[in-house]
Amino acid sequence: MSSPEIASLSWGQMKVKGCSTTYKDCKVWPGGSRTWDWRETGTNHSPGVQPADLEEVVKKGVKTVVIGRGMSEALQVPPSTVDYLKKNGIDVLVLQTEKAVEEYNALAARGVRVGGVFHSTC
């Protein structure tokens, strides 16, 4: 099962190939995607992305996780979150969201088991 391509990204909107939903923030993994609802884990711009935000993606057997910090990189990623991924043997890339989507799509196109979480506004 391959990771789905992110078909489009603009401020506040993301589309994943093969999915009719338009996301504001989304999670993607080999074979699927869904809305990334920050309220599920109490996530805010600071301290930012928590390990709990990534557990679902990690459980899908990804080898790499790409984190999109927002268009202006307002979303923080604490060292504890990066450590959580590395301890699970997962490579992690933390980038501005447009760059993150480019990198994610390139990895997906090469057949890498890649997942990600992407913030499409600030």
pTM of the model: 0.97
Class of domain 6-118: alpha beta
Indicate the SS3 state at residue 117: strand
Q: Across residues 88-110, what is the average pLDDT?
A: 98
Residue 4 near residue 26 (C-beta atoms within 8 A) = no
Residue where the block lists tokens 């789905």: 4
Q: Across residues 67-72, what is the average pLDDT?
A: 98
Domain boundaries, the chain: 6-118
Please give the mean pLDDT across all residues of the chain: 97
User: Quick one: which of 122, 7, 35 has its CA closest to 70?
Assistant: 122
Q: How large a percentage of the chain has pLDDT more than 90?
A: 99
Q: In what order do the strands lie in the sheet with 22-23?
A: 6-10, 13-16, 22-23
